[in-house]
Structures are given as C-alpha cells and as structure tokens.
Structure 1
Amino acid sequence: MSISHDHYLKYTSPSVLDETLAFHAKGNYVIHKTTHHLSTLHQLPPSALGKLTGNELQLNILACENGQGNIELTGLPSPHPLQRNSSCERFNERPLHFDTVRALLAPLLEKDSTTGKRGYPSGGALYPVEVFCIKLTNTIQQWPSEQSALHLLPSSRSFEVHTPDLNSKPLARAILPMTADIGSPSLALIYFIYLPKALFKYRYRGYRLALMEVGSMYMLTDLRCKELKLGSRPWSGFTDHQVSKYLNLNPTLFLPACIQLIG
C-alpha cells in the first residue's frame, strides 16, 4: 500500500516536529572548502584519543579487586556470516553489475504482503526510513537509468527513478567531499528519516526508534556486503543540507541519518 507522504503531516504535532528538527540540527556539521579551517568536531590530541578509543566500560570494579573472575565468552570465527568485516578504509575502483545492487538490497524488502513486515525491525511497523541508492562512478554495469539516484520501494520490491532533473556531480561531491581520501566507492546508500512518519504516532520517541531502524538497516546491509564480497563503510562526513538539496528533498522533513559507502 502507498499513500502520499504529505498525509502524515495531518497527524503530526507541529511543535513536536519543530523541536525534534531543532534537536537533530545540533548534530549537523558543515564540510566545505571555504570553512574547513573553522569547522572541527573536537580538539582532542591524538595521545588522548588513543587512550579513549576502543575501551570497554567495566562497572563492577570491586568484584575484580576481590578476585572474583569474569564469566568468559567465545567470539565468532571470522568466516561466520554474522561476524562483520571491518569498515573499508579505502575503496579500489572495480566493476560492479546492477544485479549485485539488486541482491544487496534484497534483505530490506517486504517479506509478507499480508502484514507489510520487512526484513528489519521498525517500531510499530511504521518504517519511516527511506533509502536512496546513488551511483557514484561509471563502473556499475547495466545501471537502469540515466539518473544516478534510485529510490527503494520495499513493498513494491522495486526501484523508482528519482527526480529527472537531478545533477549528479554536485550530489557526488556532497556525499564525498574533495577532502575525503578513501578511494572510489561505486555506490552510496543514503538512509533518510522522513520526520512526519517517524513522529505522528510515537511523537518524540519516534525519533529514537527511527535512529534504531537506520542502525538495523545498515548493519543488515553490511553483513550482506560480506556475503557478496563487497567493501562497506558507514559514512558521516557529509553536510546534511547539501545532500538533501541535491536530491531535491525538503531538508526540514527528510533528514539524512547515515550514508553507507559500498564498492
């Protein structure tokens, strides 16, 4: 079933929408050559970062001091399908067939037309996260459109071509700024939270549920990448407004929560 996306605004509180958008905007970050000398996320020295990275948080310190040992666990072997590969540090340019893109997104499709349930969890089965599939290079064979952006329709189990007047070059630069030195990923998946759909039922808590949904989706896709022998990397080095603008999406309603680079 498909209804107009504007229909959700009818049931969404304007104050909840405004306050959630204002909170989300606090996490926005401007990446541009004219402001790179001004924009920074932190001032931590490398020595401090080294000490603060990759640690666990042990809470029961007294038990360890009294000689009470922890209960040991065994990790998954690296070939196990649920043991994810490390994020790709640098993508090599390689040919990719569109059939592989189809296979990559199969876990996100609707499983049962009678319930509308998809391959990942969603609070209240609302599914407020929209996925856009962006061709970043010309190495993807049999791409089905002259446009570089496809919108996933999980219930229809199909793609729709997004906005015919799309300018692909500035969109690619918005996803991968010139300062990013990570090679040549072939594909980008952009996970957008459609805010009215996230908030109309659960209000503020719906925003949290939408973020959880994004994490479920990109982790599922990450494991699928391992199966298909593709490199994958969750990516946050983008400016929200630029990505929304070049996809011709309303930046007050469509929030890019994460980008996943694949190649």
Structure 2
Amino acid sequence: MSKKNNNVTDYWDYSLYKILDKGVLEDVLKFHQSTTTIKNGDYTNPFSHNTYNWLDQVEYQDTLPNFFLGEIDLDITKENFQNSKREFKKESIPKSTLGNILYKSFGRSKDHSSKRYPSAGALYPVMPLIYILDDEAVLGIPSAKGVYLFDSEKSVLKKIKSWNEEEFNSFVQSINPWQNELYSNILIGYAINMEKTVAKYKKRGYRHALIEVGLMAQAFREVIKQENSLGDFCWSGFDDNTVTYYSGLNPRLCPVTLLQWFGITGENI
C-alpha cells in the first residue's frame, strides 16, 4: 500500500534533523557551491582558442570507445525528435494548458503516489518552480507575475515570491548575466532540497538529485511536445545564488540548479 502523503513542508520536518549527517551535508553544500556561477561584473570569456577548436570537433558527436570487439546492425527507421527551441512568441498560455502540462510532468498518479519520473527512495527532493515574468503571461491568472511552487499533492500553484521593480530587474539580470535577454515570459526552475537529498543516501543522494533534475526536465519536454506549438530549452547560464535568492529560497539549502524556458513557438511541432 502506498504511503499517505501529508502537507507538512520540508522546512518544518523536525524528524529529518534527527537523522541528518551535518558533516556530509556541509561537504555536499561546499561542492555544489564550487560549481556555481558568480557574476560579480566579470564578463571575461572563459573559453580559449584551443577550446573552441576542440568544440568544433566534438559538438553533436556521440562519445564512443576507440576500441571495440564488433558491431551489430540494428533495424532502425529514423525519425525527427523535438529539439531545443529558443524563439518564442509573446503570447499568453491558457491556465488550463499550464495546469495540464505541470500535472502530467510533475504530478502524482491518480491511483498511487508515484510520478512520471523515478526518484531514488521515492524522496522527490527536487522542487519544480514556475517563474511567471509578466502579469499577462497566463490567461486566467490575473497579476500572475512571481515565483510559484507546484504542489503535486493538491495540484495547485503556491506563490512563494513576489518582486518589486528593483528585485525583478536584479532577477532578470541574474537569469542571463552576459546577454541580459529574456527568451520567454515563463520558465521552469529546478531547486534541490539539499537536506532531504543527503538524509538517506548521504553523498550519493546528491548524485540522485542531479539525475532527478535531468529526468524532470526531459519529462517536461516529452509532455509539452503533445501540445501544439509549445517548445522549450534548458539553461544553466545563470547566476545560481542570485537566482535562488530572488526565487524566495535559501541559496545554500535549496539551490536552483537548472532553468527551462518554454513558450509558444508558432510551429506545429
């Protein structure tokens, strides 16, 4: 029998702290922070000429072994897959469409508590955030601008952050520090609850969480391709800590690790 879900937020889960290894948590937090991008006004290109030469050779190429024992031909009929889309129309998405794609991507099954994607130990430590950057971005949600957390148990959006003008401008700059461009007026963020991540599986739990982020992003892409004219692309070129801060979360304990832009492309994908 599936365990019953409750609505107790992770931040108040006192039983978690009875089993949490603080040393492991600190190690994981330090490692994660070492991977973050801190802008601080530095626009220096991190790639050398040699790096670009190497990229010309390896982009869009499989990683294959130099030596192998043999090959087996497979009977394959090639088809076109949905690729990343970076150009979106400034059109509003209906509330019903948004709800449908969020539920099918991140919601719980009708007859049990599992989701579309697997999670180690059924812990689901990754929180799907919805950023609405314009009050008119979603038809049926007035004054929608802000950050929301999708509650998969109740199938509701919980608003966790509103911005004043200064905060919003800082947030926009932190999303794309080097180009200062918004690709769409709505996007998804994936934030990892680091304490929940390491409580059971210790450091290995961090690996599980990163895998889960990828699974969620792919689940979202597979769902929106069922909707005509919707597309997406994943984005990691953001100022991690600043984005997390302006998402209303703790940059150390609940860092945003991936953003996924989406919107109406105007194409019948």
Shorter-normalised TM range: 0.7 to 0.9
Give percent identity, aligned residues only.
23
The 1-side partners of 2:210 and 2:118 are apart by 12
Q: In angstroms, what is the RMSD of aligned CA positions?
A: 2.4
The 2-side partners of 1:171 and 1:255 are apart by 15
- Asked if 1:40 corresponds to 2:39, the answer is no
Partner of residue 253, structure 1:
253
Partner of residue 210, structure 1:
209
Counterpart residue type for residue 20 of structure 2: T
What CA deviation, in whole Å up to 9, does each residue of 1:24-53 have, x standing for no partner?
112111235x2113x626664433211122
Seen in structure 2, the aligned counterparts of structure 1 residues 24 and 41 have a Cα distance that, compared at 3 Å, is farther
Provide the TM-score with structure 2 as the length reference. Answer: 0.83
Partner-residue secondary structure (3-state), 2:157: strand
What CA deviation, in whole Å up to 9, does each residue of 1:67-86 have, x standing for no partner?
x54323415523xxxx4x11
Partner-residue secondary structure (3-state), 1:150: strand
The 2-side partners of 1:235 and 1:196 are apart by 24
Question: Aligned pair count?
Answer: 250
Seen in structure 2, the aligned counterparts of structure 1 residues 209 and 45 have a Cα distance that, compared at 3 Å, is closer
The 1-side partners of 2:131 and 2:153 are apart by 20
The 1-side partners of 2:176 and 2:253 are apart by 23
Partner of residue 242, structure 2:
242
Cα drift, residue 130 of structure 1: 0.6
- Correspondences of 1:93-172 after superposition (within 5 Å): 93-107=90-104, 108-112=106-110, 115-137=112-134, 138-164=136-162, 167-172=167-172
- Structure 1 segments (4+ residues) deviating >6 Å: none
Cα drift, residue 227 of structure 1: 1.2
- Asked if 1:50 corresponds to 2:49, the answer is no
**Structure 2 portions without partners, runs of 5+:** 1-5, 264-269
- Deviates further, 131-140 or 241-250: 131-140
What CA deviation, in whole Å up to 9, does each residue of 1:204-256 have, x standing for no partner?
11111111111111101011121113110011010111011112211110021
**Structure 1 portions without partners, runs of 5+:** none
Partner-residue secondary structure (3-state), 2:188: strand
The 2-side partners of 1:154 and 1:205 are apart by 25
